[in-house]
């Protein structure tokens, strides 16, 4: 089966949190539109299952990157590896997220606070830092980050998640203004 000629034919797209939910759906849609995919998730099994589905859609395999986005040094190395392999990146979808525990702010455990901020905010900053040069090598580079309505209104017990997503929105809107 040959790859479909769609709106993303010839484009290289990276999706974080690709093994489940929104990331999985985005990856499948991008595959149907002809994109060459770089899929990132913590679970190898989930990535392999998705790759099997994508092969059924477009006949190609994806580049599977099992990675915990809290491994910031690995994110830094990712940019170089993608440059060596592709020479550019056309689409970055920062989708991976961590909800954390729904609990009063005063009860949030410091390790959980840090984990949620690391995944929802810091990892996306590190992705921008590592992959922005590759997006600039594309003739139409795009960065898309998944947020939440929780970022735009206080809601009891959702503190860690809401705060991390509000900070993510400020990060990416600042990045957008800069570029």
**Catalytic machinery residues:** 161
Report the candidate in 121, 95, 80 with the shortest Cα–Cα distance to residue 27: 95
Residue 119 carries which DSSP code? I
Structure letter (DSSP) for residue 2: P
SS3 per-residue string spanning 83-127: HHHHCCCCEEEECCCCCCCCCCHHHCCHHHHHHHHHHHHHHHHHH
Q: What is the DSSP letter of 168?
A: H
The count of other CB atoms within 10 Å of the CB of residue 161 is 21
């Amino acid at each position: 089966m040959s790859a479909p000629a769609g709106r993303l034919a010839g484009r290289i797209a990276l999706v974080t949190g690709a093994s489940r939910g929104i990331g999985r759906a985005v990856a499948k849609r991008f595959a149907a539109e002809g994109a060459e995919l770089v899929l990132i998730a913590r679970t190898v099994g989930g990535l392999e299952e998705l790759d099997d589905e994508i092969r059924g859609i477009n006949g190609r395999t994806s580049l599977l990157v099992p990675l915990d986005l809290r491994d910031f040094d690995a994110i830094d190395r990712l940019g170089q590896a993608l440059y060596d392999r592709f020479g550019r990146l056309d689409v970055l979808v920062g989708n991976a997220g961590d909800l954390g525990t729904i609990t009063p702010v005063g009860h949030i455990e410091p390790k959980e606070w840090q984990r949620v901020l690391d995944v929802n905010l810091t990892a996306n900053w590190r992705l921008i830092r590592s992959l922005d040069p590759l997006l600039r090598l594309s003739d139409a580079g795009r960065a898309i980050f998944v947020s939440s309505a929780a970022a735009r209104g206080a809601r009891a017990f959702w503190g860690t998640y809401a705060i991390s997503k509000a900070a993510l929105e400020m990060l990416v809107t600042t990045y957008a203004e800069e570029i």
